[in-house]
Amino acid sequence: MEELTRLADEAAAEVTAAESTQAVAAIEARYLGGKGSLQALLRTIGALPADERPRFGAAVNAARARLEAAIAERKETLARLERETELASEALDVSLPGVPIPRGRYHPLTATARRITAALAGLGFEFVDGPELEDYEHNFAALNYPEEHPAFDEQMTFYIDDQRLMRTQTTALQGRVMCDRTPPFRIATIGRCFRYEAVDATHHHTFHQVDVFMVDEGVSLSHLKGTLKRFASQMFGGDVQVRFRPDYFPFVEPGVDYAVFWRGRWLELGGAGLIHPNILEAHGIDSERYSGFAFGLGVERIHMIRHGVNDLRHYLENDLRFLSQF
Amino acid sequence: MRLPVEWITAYAPLDLGPEAIASRLTMAGLEVEATEETDAGVVLDIKVTPNRGDCLSVLGVARELAAAGGTPYLGAPQCPSSEDEPPDAALHTGVTIEDPDLCPRYAARIVENLRLGESPAWMQRRLVAAGMRPISNIVDITNYVMLETGQPLHAFDYETLRERRIVVRRARPDELLVSLDGVTRPLGTEMLVIADAERPVAIAGVMGGADTEITQATRTLLLESAHFDWKSIRRTARVLGLGTEASYRFERGVDPDGVVYAADLACRLISETGSGTPVPGVVDEYPRRPAPVRLRLRQSRCSELMGYVPTEDEIAGSLMALGFSVAGETGGVFEVGVPSWRRDVTREVDLVEEVARIVGYERIPERLPSGATTQGGDAPGGALRNSIREFLVGAGLQEVKCHTLVAPSGLDQPEPSLGYGDGARIHIRSALSAELSGLRRSLLPGVCDALRRNARHGLGPLAFFEIGAVFSSTGPATHVEREAVAGAMCGPMSERSWLGATRGAEAFFVGSGVVRALLTSLHADAACEVAGGDWEPDARLHPQRQTRIVSGGRTLGILGELHPAQQAELRLRDRCVVFELDLAALASASHADGGSFVPFSRYPAVTRDLAPRVSRGVPYEAVRGIVRRAAGDILERLALTDVFEGPPLAEGLKSFTVSLTFRSADRTLSEADVEAALTQARDRLRSEVGATFQED
């Protein structure tokens, strides 16, 4: 028994004094291994009287367990210290730039169009694409433009020939959709339009427009206002007010231009109104039973407002100093 | 149109400041674009929409202001009517209308003892405020009456008219007229003219003639007040390139019933200012008197379309304030008489608009639509466009948007093998500049211009793409419009880094990497074909550094380095790589949803390298194809890890190192399995492309 106590104390002292995980492993082998001291001591049990054997055995096992625990604890402590030392030696200047990852960006009009699409899709509007090279019929005649009407003065047109032209408004899609659908429907389109305009900070011969329309029973100016309010609050955030002012477009009656009150000012966003019954009737839709609304807006304008851009020309110039800001 | 506030409020007495008046007008539909302080008080610049010709006058604006402001409209100034006078004028002249469709009404009055001089100061002040230059008492009075009533007038020197009479007719072949501005104008037979017994003396509704202009010598004048077909006037003004205050008003609609009144008002002013003595009576030909328009307006229709229920008083009050007659209201249905100056009002819905705007749009509540609807979502092509954009943006390319209308250029050529028509350029008719003269056939000029523009400013990285429409002619009056995606890259894709220079890969392989990864991300099965086989190289590209991308026998597009000549033209230092793919072809080649799930093997893989040496002309694609076919089903993956030329290899040889990963779906592969596959691959490479191996 004295031998056991001596061995245990000696081992404990060695463990405490060990300075590396390797040293602890050596101590472990020396005392606890198959050929270790404690194992050897246990083999002396046969020399003891039978009644002392259980007590001696229990004492050896208890000493063994204590030593194992001490070794494990010391190992963990030393391993932690060693890890810390190693990590300390691996210090980097974390303020250095990282590996450069090539990164592109969406064109700001694409980003804006995606935002518009998400807002309108959420209100049940299905997007449809139409051609940029349109015909006179869809761009004007089907939209209730009388021949030789002064309304054409606002639509200076790039003609290809007598029948074909570059669309001046995405509204041109309305007739195409009404030809092969029956109400109710909610449709939207987004795309490029062209007008013969002298280019300056607020005018361009090439611009992007959204056109939105729905036809159903009982569609009123009130629904137009409600939809615009919801749409505008999604585009600009927060609660926005919507204001109508009478305006004229051959394809709507009543026709209005709409503005939203945002950050302390009224922003005129585009034209709107109830789809002219002449258009519904021309496409075989009963204008007594069905009515519809339509509204349009400029994609550039939305982006200019949201980001304080002051010159329309930036959008087609593709200068990285502009594009990289969004 | 510029009008002083005091002139308008003379007929619509509203106790408001100019800003408040401007705001009322704007909210009623007459947008005041600017206000200006002048000698004649505040002047409003009013934008009148093309449907409201009746508002191109002081009285028209005053009527709207009164209705919107809830004040009585005082009406046109009192004036003795020539129709109540003895018909003396008929003794002096006669009017013949040969084309009543183009001239529904023509009235003439005669003024004797003309004393040409200045108009009174108050009149001049108003004219100047309205933007008109005072000229003489007679011209000023005709302009003044036009501004006040909207009816254009014209004064002829009576004694210069042959036979002293008026014939309204179309111009005869080869007739000419020297107009008031001194220009000799050839007249077309579709043009309406005012003539005397022999010759045209004015272009109807557009401009008078120089020969019959009033002068200091004029003693008697014939004053014209007439109504013309707006389409005819607009066409004539456009053909002649001659827009005037008169033609502007006639195009937009003048009140046919106000013709004689305007002449009478002018005569009253002539008389009052001592400018001449009007002869009593008027010669008034009115062969096409429009039938009065009467419309039915249902209160229920108003509420259905407005989403607001207007009271009967609101409906009747709004309409009457605007000069409509309202009668016989029974069961919520009104019988409405449309005034002669409102030719834009033809249907019930037009009346709903009048009620809505006078009641005020602010009364209309906001409500979201309910009921059955379409499934909201992006356009059918939207998903593919978004996938392409997401990939290319992630790969480091900046999206750009370039011009659709372009000048002709060497880069603007369509890829012929896409098989769209004859590929001819579509021209804009009567284009004003080369830049806007035609439609792009390719996106390459645009994306390459983005390279040039940004390189010039020292900006970067130079890596751009665009998705957009391109056009080409397919026949005399037919065309194809299709969508494409194109990219252009020049120099390193990311900025220089302290971590070491970006590896200088050939530009071609940068583009090739992007395009191949794009195709993979779209699950598109496509292969690259080398020029020289059954297709002509694209002349815009380096003849030895281009490839055509094909899928299932269909061309998707092209990829290659820009031809060095094009690169030089763009003033770019580094080689550029470009690509252009057809979106429709890409859509049919891609399986956007991916395929069905294939269970993967649980057995271990074996990796071996194969390093065939082949002559320099053998393309990698050939080697890859042979290995793929020869190694059989157990070849899971094949990757090129090295390409080597130079010593110790003999001149004209190169070696590929290909890493092959083998795996079986149903067992652990043995060394013999793998060796058999490798032997098969080596043998095929030897026999098909003359490959040799180090171990040979």
Question: Residue B388 maps to which CATH number?
Answer: 3.30.930.10
pLDDT of residue B503: 55
Sign for the CA dihedral angle at B527, B533, B539, B541 comes to positive
Task: Measure CA B134 to chain center.
Answer: 39
Same domain for B410 and B317, yes or no, is no
With a cut of 80, say whether residue A218 has pLDDT above it: yes
Comparing CB atoms, the residue among A126, A196, A323 nearest residue B376 is A126
Q: Look-up: residue for tokens 């003004």?
A: B237
* Per-residue confidence (pLDDT) for residue A97, from 0 to 100: 87
Measure the CA–CA gap between B694 and B696, rounded to whole angstroms: 5
Distance of alpha carbon B402 from the chain centroid:
16
Strand order in the sheet with B166-170: B95-97, B166-170, B192-195, B200-203, B207-208
CB contact (8 A) between residue B364 and residue A225: yes
ipTM: 0.90
Domain that holds residue B470: 382-495+503-589
Smallest CA-to-CA distance from B52 within B237, B249, B214 is with: B249
Q: Is the backbone of residue B228 left (phi > 0), alpha (psi -120 to 50) or beta? A: beta
Q: Do A127 and B396 touch (CB under 8 A)?
A: no
Smallest CA-to-CA distance from B165 within B91, B236, B101 is with B91
CB contact under 8 A, A229 and B366: yes
Whether the pLDDT of residue A67 is over 80: the answer is yes
Shared domain for B252 and B318, answered yes or no, is no
Q: Are A213 and A292 in contact (CB under 8 A)?
A: yes
Percentage, residues of chain A above pLDDT 70: 100
Is B696 among the domain residues? no
Look at A194 and B405 and tell me if their CB atoms are within 8 Å: yes
**Contact (CB<8Å) A226/B471:** no
Residues of B in contact with A225 (CB under 8 A): 307, 364-367
CB-CB under 8 Å, B231 with A148: yes
Query: What local confidence, expressed as pLDDT, does residue B592 receive?
Result: 65
Those residues with Cβ within 8 angstroms of residue B520's Cβ, 6 or more apart along the chain or in another chain: none
Using the predicted structure, report yes or no on whether residue A253 has a pLDDT greater than 60. yes
B458 token code pair: 């020292």
Pair B189, B313 in one domain: no
Which residues from A are below 8 Å from B478, CB to CB?
none
Single out the residue of B53, B23, B9, B38 nearest to residue B127, CA to CA.
Answer: B38
For residue A154, pLDDT over 80 is answered with no
Residue pointed to by tokens 């100047």: B128
Give A 44-103 residues with CB within 8 A of chain B. Answer: 96-97, 99-103
Q: Are residues B551 and B616 in the same domain?
A: no
Task: Give strand ranges (E) for chain A.
Answer: 126-127, 133-135, 164-166, 185-194, 206-217, 241-246, 252-262, 265-275, 290-298
Restricting to A residues 227-246, those with a Cβ less than 8 Å away from any Cβ of B are: 227, 229-230, 242-246
**Taking CB atoms and an 8 Å limit, are A109 and B401 in contact across chains?**
yes
The 3-state secondary structure of B457-476, one letter per residue: CCCCCEEEEEEEEEEEECCC
Confidence grade of residue B85 (pLDDT, cut at 50, 70, 90) = very high
**Residues A221, B457: C-beta atoms closer than 8 Å:** no
Chain A residue numbers with beta carbons less than 8 Å from the beta carbon of B518 are none
β-bridge pairing B192-195 and B166-170: antiparallel
- Judged by CB atoms within 8 Å, which residues 307-366 of B form the interface with A? 307-308, 347, 349-350, 352-353, 356-357, 361-362, 364-366
CB contact under 8 A, A318 and B454: yes
pLDDT (mean) for B614-623: 90
Q: How far apart are CA B138 and CA B330, in angstroms?
A: 51
Q: Are residues B160 and B245 in the same domain?
A: yes
pLDDT at B531: 63
Q: Is residue B369 part of a domain?
A: no
pLDDT-above-70 percentage for chain B: 97
Is pLDDT at B530 greater than 80 in this prediction? Answer: no
Strands (E), B244-370: 277-278, 283-285, 293-298, 325-330, 333-338
Smallest CA–CA distance, residue A160 to chain B, in Å, is 5
Within this chain, do residues B46 and B190 fall inside the same structural domain, yes or no? no
Task: Tell whether the model's pLDDT for residue A1 goes beyond 80.
Answer: no
Confirm if B91 and B39 have CB atoms less than 8 A apart.
no
Of A110, A194, A242, the CB nearest to B366: A242
pLDDT exceeds 60 at position B675? yes
Give the pLDDT band (50/70/90) at residue B694: confident
* Pairwise CA distance, residues B275 & B115, whole Å: 5
CA distance B324 to B334: 11
Residues B413 and B485 in one domain: yes
Q: What is the pLDDT of residue A54?
A: 85
Q: Distance (Å) from the C-alpha of residue B95 to the closest C-alpha of chain A?
A: 28
At B531, phi and psi to the nearest 5? -60, 155
B686 touching A, CB under 8 A? no
DSSP β-ladder status, A126-127 and A185-194? parallel
Query: Considering the domain boundaries, does residue B76 fall inside one?
Result: no
Residue B534, pLDDT above cutoff 80: no
- Under DSSP, is residue B118 helix (H, G, I), strand (E, B) or coil? coil
Q: How far is A111 from chain B (nearest CA, A)?
A: 10
Distance from CA of A88 to the nearest CA of B (A): 23
> How far, in Å, CA of B493 to CA of B192, rounded?
67
Residue A30: burial class (beta carbons within 10 Å; 0-12, 13-18, 19+): middle
pLDDT tier at B533 (50, 70, 90 boundaries)?
low
Q: Which CATH architecture has domain A108-323?
A: 2-Layer Sandwich (3.30)
Domain limits, chain A:
2-88, 108-323
Phi-psi region of A21 (alpha: psi -120 to 50; beta: other; left: phi over 0): alpha
The rounded distance, in Å, linking the Cα atoms of A68 and A60 is 12
Residue B454 belongs to some domain of the structure: yes
Lowest mean pLDDT, pick from A158-167, B235-244, B369-378: B369-378
Same domain, B305 and B259: no
Read off the tokens for B138. Answer: 């007679």
Inter-CA distances, B575 with A258, B393, B505, B578, B648, Å:
50, 21, 11, 10, 31
**Position B594 confidence tier, pLDDT thresholds 50, 70, 90:** low
Confidence at residue B216, expressed as pLDDT on a 0 to 100 scale: 93
Distance (Å, whole) CA B79 – CA B85: 12
Distance from CA of B381 to the nearest CA of A (A): 8
Give domain status of residue B615, yes or no.
yes
Chain B nearest-CA distance from A76, in A, is 37
Q: Clarify whether residues B580 and B516 are in a common domain.
A: yes
What's the whole-number mean pLDDT along residues B333-362? 96
What's the distance, Cα to Cα, between the start and end of chain B in Å?
Answer: 94
CA of B362 to nearest chain A CA: how many angstroms apart?
Answer: 7
By CB atoms closer than 10 A (0-12, 13-18, 19+), residue B370 is: exposed
Domain-located, residue B11: yes
pLDDT of residue B432: 82
Is B341 part of a structural domain of the chain?
no
Residue among B467, B459, B356, B461 at smallest CA distance from B402: B467
- The residues pairing with B298 across neighbouring beta strands, listed in sequence order, are B333
Which chain B residues contact residue A206 at CB under 8 A? 403-405
State the smallest CA–CA distance between residue B493 and chain A in angstroms: 6
pLDDT higher than threshold 90 for residue B136: yes
Please tell me the predicted confidence (pLDDT) of residue B420. 65
Does B498 sit within 8 Å of A254, measured CB to CB?
no
Q: Which residues of A touch B25 (CB under 8 A)?
A: none
- C-alpha separations of B63 from B24, B34, B319 in Å: 12, 20, 12
Q: Is the pLDDT of residue B341 over 90?
A: yes
In this model, does residue B419 exceed pLDDT 80?
A: no
pLDDT, position B532: 63
Answer yes or no: do A148 and B235 touch at CB < 8 A.
Answer: yes
Contact A248 B497 (CB under 8 A): no
pLDDT of amino acid B450: 97
Q: Which residue on chain B is closest to A124 by alpha carbon?
A: B376
One domain for residues B620 and B673: yes
Establish if B103 belongs to a structural domain.
Answer: yes
Amino acid at B63: R
Residue of B24, B102, B366, B403 to mutate when probing chain A, most A C-beta within 10 A? B366
- Cβ of B307 and A102 within 8 Å? no
C-alpha distance from residue B288 to each of A148, A188, B104, B284, B430 (Å): 21, 45, 5, 12, 39
Domain count, chain B: 5
Q: How many angstroms away from the CA of A253 is the closest CA of chain B?
A: 7
Count of Cβ atoms closer than 10 Å to residue B514 Cβ: 24
B 423-482: CB under 8 A from A: 426-430, 432, 436, 439, 446, 449-450, 453-454, 457, 459-461, 463-465, 468-469, 471, 477, 479, 481
Instruction: Find residue B327's DSSP bridge partners.
Output: B335
Q: What is the mean pLDDT of residues A195-199?
A: 91
A190 close to A121: Cβ distance less than 8 angstroms: no
How far apart, in whole angstroms, are the C-alpha atoms of residue B682 and residue A11?
66
Q: Is A120 on the interface with B (CB under 8 A)?
A: yes
> If you ran DSSP here, which 8-state letter would residue A314 be given?
G
Residues B56 and B110 in one domain: no
pLDDT per position as a tens digit, A265-287? 999 999 999 999 999 999 999 99
At residue A102, the pLDDT reads: 85
Q: Contact at 8 Å (CB) between B626 and B685?
A: yes
Q: Which residues on neighbouring strands pair with residue B203, listed in sequence order?
A: B193, B207
Q: How confident is the model at residue B41 (pLDDT cuts 50, 70, 90)?
A: very high
Residue B463 forms beta bridges with which residues? B489
What is the arithmetic mean of pLDDT over B475-482? 91
Given A106, A148, A242, which is nearest B234 (Cβ)?
Answer: A148
Does A279 contact chain B (CB < 8 Å)?
A: no
Cβ(A261)–Cβ(A240) under 8 Å? yes
Q: Which residues between 223 and 242 in chain B have a beta carbon less than 8 angstroms from any beta carbon of chain A?
A: 230-231, 234-235
Q: Which of A93, A94, A95, A103 to mutate to test the interface with B (most CBs of B within 10 A)?
A: A103
Please state which of the ranges A186-200, B455-469, B543-557, B600-614 shows the lowest mean pLDDT.
B543-557
